[in-house]
Structure 1
Amino acid sequence: MAVSRLDLDAYLSNLLKVDQFNDYCPNGLQIEGSLTIERIVTGVTASQRLIDEAIAHNAQAILVHHGYFWKGENQAIAGIKRSRIATLLEHDINLFAYHLPLDAHETLGNNVQLANELGWNISGNLPKSLALYGRVDGMETGATLQRKLSEALDYDVQHIGEQNDEIETVAWCTGAAQDELERAIDAGVDAFVSGEISERTVHLALESGVHYFAAGHHATERGGVRALGAHLAQQFNVDVQFIDLPIPV
């Protein structure tokens, strides 16, 4: 079966409520390719490696969380950016990218998918934030939660805090959301989980007593695009292949 580029673009824009977000990049179709799409490759980031995988799979579309044309970057189509875009155009491959809309989606989003993977109970969002908060499944300590995150995400999770402290409540936001720790502190949760960590994050965690878990930017953001791809495969009866290309951050 196949879906048209126009229908897929419209469906995803509506499903992910793209118009509700003021993002750092355009959400939706970023590079136009074939009008007819029979095979889609999904991944976290539209790197050259992922593009090469899409070519190998004879895909007409790539769907990612991290695409191109970020605010503040050099706008020139040169160097690595030129090479990536030239490859997509040469092979008539569409590039669809969804950043904040895919973090926030109530069933397919990165944050919800992380909770599902760990069995956390969601209470809601932290104030003025995409971050979610809730309760862990049962009782955890710093050590057991670090281990469960590492096993679930296949990533060496960093933990800031006492290993034997009990953890009942947790807030989380995937990717580079370490500065949401301040909102987690204000909310009074026991722990905060994100993808990345910064030098300032360590001090905030230690001085506040809120445990911090850095679980990997890539590792925490595989869930959304993988779930979205599975949804599209069922919705349109097209071939969707998730390609995982792990990186150490």
Structure 2
Amino acid sequence: MVELKEIVSKLDAEFDINSFGKDASFSRFIPRVYDPLNFDWQTAFEKNFVELFNGLMLKGNSTVEKVFLAVFPTDKVLERFIEESNSGDLLFMHHPLLMECGDPKGKWGQGFVPIKEKYINKIKKKNLSIYTCHIPLDCHKKLGTNIAIAKELNAQILVDDTVNAKNEYVLYCNIEKTNTSNLISVLKNTFEIPYVDFEGQELDNIQKVAIVAGCGDVVDWMKEAEENGVQAYITGEIHCHIDNDYGKQKYKQMMEYASNTSMSLIGVSHSASEFLVHKTLMKDWFEKNFNIETVLIPQEKWWL
């Protein structure tokens, strides 16, 4: 057993969540999805979380026996957490809301979706805790989502390349020379996905890559990567498949760019790209710092 306050304190310090201030995304999206439901999220969630939108979101019993790790709070992720946990256990996630990102070979998603009130009530009744860490996890120099991908690909991070100082969400690396087909095979195996989302060129000689876990469907980032000699742009999403005007506009912009790019653009799914850090670096971090049992909860369908 480990004291919850000890885990929370160490997480807060490790990710320096106070220094980031309000999370730019979830400070907007949490009110946007909960307010129309008349759900009093400001009372339901912990005070510091309501201010920062990172950190301890729901507080349960004071001692923790197991830490569960997941990316998005899908219904099935939450059901498994509730079913397999003991009172006081902690769920560590990257996001406090589900984001239906859409399937490049299936249905488009509806964007951000709230956690159902029934699950929040069950979590509170069982005295469980939830801690989420968004941008501070993405940007961490040793435990970041991009760092985890680079490590798994045995990539050499270009530490002397000033481009890595320009955008903290894009990581430039060198990998062993390969081609598009082989790189896609490696990525499918690494992220345990049935297929990738692909646009751009199929290349015979790839060595310099850009890595962007999560939403990498930013044309300006892709243009900058191309200008800096990148041959393959690896990300969670190369397209926005959210079924609204915003998603359709972003998809159109992306397709216009993709028709002329010289790079291979490879999407491995938003959730799979970010689950890797839980599976590797964060799992190790919890076990080494607290000698505690960790349980991975992969998403039931990576393209959702």
TM-score tier after normalising by the smaller chain length: 0.7 to 0.9
Distance 1:150 1:90 in 2: 39
> What is the root-mean-square deviation in Å for CA atoms of aligned residues?
2.2
Query: How far does residue 229 in structure 1 lie from its aligned partner after superposition?
Result: 2.7
Matched, 1:142 2:183: no
Query: 1:222 corresponds to which residue?
Result: 275
Matched, 1:92 2:146: no
Distance 1:160 1:237 in 2: 43
Query: 1:110 corresponds to which residue?
Result: 145
Give the secondary structure class of the aligned counterpart of 1:66: coil
Distance 1:149 1:202 in 2: 22
Distance 1:204 1:164 in 2: 17
Distance 2:165 2:171 in 1: 6
Query: How far does residue 147 in structure 1 lie from its aligned partner after superposition?
Result: 1.5
Q: Which amino acid in structure 1 is aligned with residue 142 of structure 2?
A: T
Query: How far does residue 182 in structure 1 lie from its aligned partner after superposition?
Result: 3.1
Compute the TM-score of the two structures, normalised by the length of structure 1: 0.88
Query: 1:18 corresponds to which residue?
Result: 17
Q: Please show how residues 54-133 of structure 1 align to structure 2 within 5 Å.
A: 54-59=81-86, 60-68=89-97, 80-124=115-159, 125=164, 127-133=166-172
Q: Does 117-126 or 141-150 show the bigger shift?
A: 117-126
Query: 1:241 corresponds to which residue?
Result: 295
Distance 1:152 1:238 in 2: 26
Aligned residues between the structures:
240
Query: How far does residue 69 in structure 1 lie from its aligned partner after superposition?
Result: 10
Q: Which of the residues 261, 266, 271 maps onto 1:208?
A: 261
Check 1:69–1:204 CA distance in 2 against 1; reply closer, same or farther (3 A cut).
closer
Compute the TM-score of the two structures, normalised by the length of structure 2: 0.73
Q: Please show how residues 10-49 of structure 1 align to structure 2 within 5 Å.
A: 10-22=9-21, 23=23, 24-25=25-26, 26-49=53-76
Q: Which amino acid in structure 1 is aligned with residue 72 of structure 2?
A: T
Contact 1:30 1:68 in 2 (8 A): no
Check 1:88–1:133 CA distance in 2 against 1; reply closer, same or farther (3 A cut).
same
Q: Which of the residues 196, 216, 222 maps onto 1:181?
A: 222
Query: How far does residue 228 in structure 1 lie from its aligned partner after superposition?
Result: 1.1
Check 1:239–1:33 CA distance in 2 against 1; reply closer, same or farther (3 A cut).
same
Q: Please show how residues 162-181 of structure 1 align to structure 2 within 5 Å.
A: 162-179=201-218, 180-181=221-222
Query: 1:192 corresponds to which residue?
Result: 233
Gaps of 5+ in 2: 27-52, 100-112, 240-250
Q: Which amino acid in structure 2 is aligned with residue 181 of structure 1?
A: M
Deviations 1:212-247 (A, max 9, x none): 111111111112223213211221111111111242
